[in-house]
Each structure stands twice: as structure tokens, then as C-alpha cells.
Amino acid sequence: MTQRFLEPGELVAATHNKGKVKELKALFEPLGFVVRSAIELDLEEPEETEDSFTGNAILKAKAAALATGRPALSDDSGLAVTALDGAPGIYSARWAGEPRDFYAAMEKVRSELEAKSATDYSARFVCALAIVWPDGHEEVFEGDVKGHLEFPPRGDRGFGYDPIFVAEGETITFGEMDPDRKHAMSHRADAFNKLKAVLKTDKV
């Protein structure tokens, strides 16, 4: 399939995560997109049945594009810990249970590292951003940010696993970091920088 460009206009953010909605708005609104989230539109949350970030990103965007008849943007992301063979990975949200408790999920990461007597605390955040059009055309981009984990968790400025993640070259966690600074270096920003290639806007 040939690459397709996305025209500025209304864009459905196929996510129910308020932290992501905030970050996706910060990335797309300056470029002239009006972002409406799946929360505002009261869309159903599809089951994430694929075995990769890109697969789940496409699945979520496709469901929202079909439900709304509009191009939809999704984000599938997670924390991949080297010593845990990439876990929690695509299960990052599911490790937090229902209702989501990321302090419990961060504690699970810590206890699994301790159980393995791990000395390697390196980790990365991964993000797949997908755009799917109502006719089924899809574009997907993957980004990451490398770093390491520190315990106990610090900072309440981000979401999810941010309080234990320290990016390469930094000393503070994503939870302690100014949100604009996180946006400039995150896995989401990395994927977004690749996705810019399909945005039809002179503001890029």
C-alpha cells in the first residue's frame, strides 16, 4: 500500500488513558489537529488481543475509525525491562489490574527484579502510534526511550510507570520531570517524530 497523508482536521484519539490524551493533544494540537478522545466520544474499549505494540495499536485505531467514520490515532505503549525479558511490555496496563493501580504494578516490577537478584535495572519505554482511516488504510510507527529503573517511585507529574523511570543522561524520573521536557524525549515523541512524515501540515 502506498503511504497516505493525514490532512489537518478532527482526529479521534483511540485511547481511554487520560495521561496519553494529554500528551497526544500536546503533540497534535499545535499542528492544527482537533483531538477528540475515545473518552469524550464514549467509544468502547476494544480487547487488546494482538501480541505486539504495533498490532494492538492498529487494532485500537481500527475500532475507533470504524465506530466514528473518522481517521483515528491510537497509542499502544509500555515498559520493557531487560532483566525481565521485556516484561511487562504489552501487558504494562494489565499488570496494574482493574481498577488500575500503578503503584502495585511498580511494586511487582521491583519484587520480580529482586526475586531474580537482578543487577541490570536497564529498561525502555516503547510506543507504537497508529493512524487508521475508515476505509481500513493504516500507518504505524514505533519509537522508544532508553533508561533505567530506580526505586522507590518518585514524582507525581506523569502517569503509569513514570515515577520509576530515569531516561539515559537524566537523574530525575519521568514522574519528577517537567511535562514539556518528557514530551521532548519520550517514546511517544520518538514515534511521533517518525509519524510526522505522513502529516500534511506546513507547521511540522
Ligand X SMILES: O=c1nc[nH]c2c1ncn2[C@H]1C[C@H](O)[C@@H](COP(=O)(O)OP(=O)(O)OP(=O)(O)O)O1
Helix (H, G, I), strand (E, B) or coil at 141: strand
| Residue 7: closest CA among 170, 133, 183 | 133
Residue 100 annotated as binding site: no
Identified binder of ligand X from the candidate list 62, 158, 166, 190, rule CB under 6 A: 158
Tell me if residue 76 is catalytic: yes
Does the footprint of ligand X cover residue 173 (CB under 6 A)? no
Does the footprint of ligand X cover residue 177 (CB under 6 A)? no
| Residue 76: closest CA among 118, 13, 135, 29 | 13
Q: Which of 76, 101, 135, 190 is catalytic?
A: 76
CA distance 62 to 46: 10
Does the footprint of ligand X cover residue 76 (CB under 6 A)? yes
| Residue 125: closest CA among 157, 173, 171 | 173
Cell of 115: 526475586
Does the footprint of Mg ion cover residue 12 (CB under 5 A)? no
Does the footprint of ligand X cover residue 176 (CB under 6 A)? no
Number of residues in contact with ligand X, rule: CB under 6 A? 22
Give which of ligand X, Mg ion, none residue 37 binds (C-beta under 5 to 8 Å, depending on kind).
Answer: none
Residue 101 annotated as binding site: no
**C-alpha torsion 171→169→140→98, nearest 10:** -20
Does the footprint of ligand X cover residue 139 (CB under 6 A)? no
Q: Among the candidate windows 23-31, 92-100, 144-152, 192-200, which touches Mg ion by CB under 5 A?
A: 92-100
Q: Is 191:140 a contact under the CB 8 Å cutoff?
A: no
The residue nearest ligand X at its CB is 160
The dihedrals phi and psi of 92, each to the nearest 5 degrees, come to -55, -45
Does the footprint of Mg ion cover residue 11 (CB under 5 A)? no
Helix (H, G, I), strand (E, B) or coil at 51: coil
Q: Using CB under 5 A as the criterion, which residues of the chain lie in contact with Mg ion when the complex forms? A: 93
Q: Using CB under 6 A as the criterion, which residues of the chain lie in contact with ligand X when the complex forms? A: 15-17, 20, 45, 48, 60, 75-79, 92-93, 125, 158-162, 174, 186
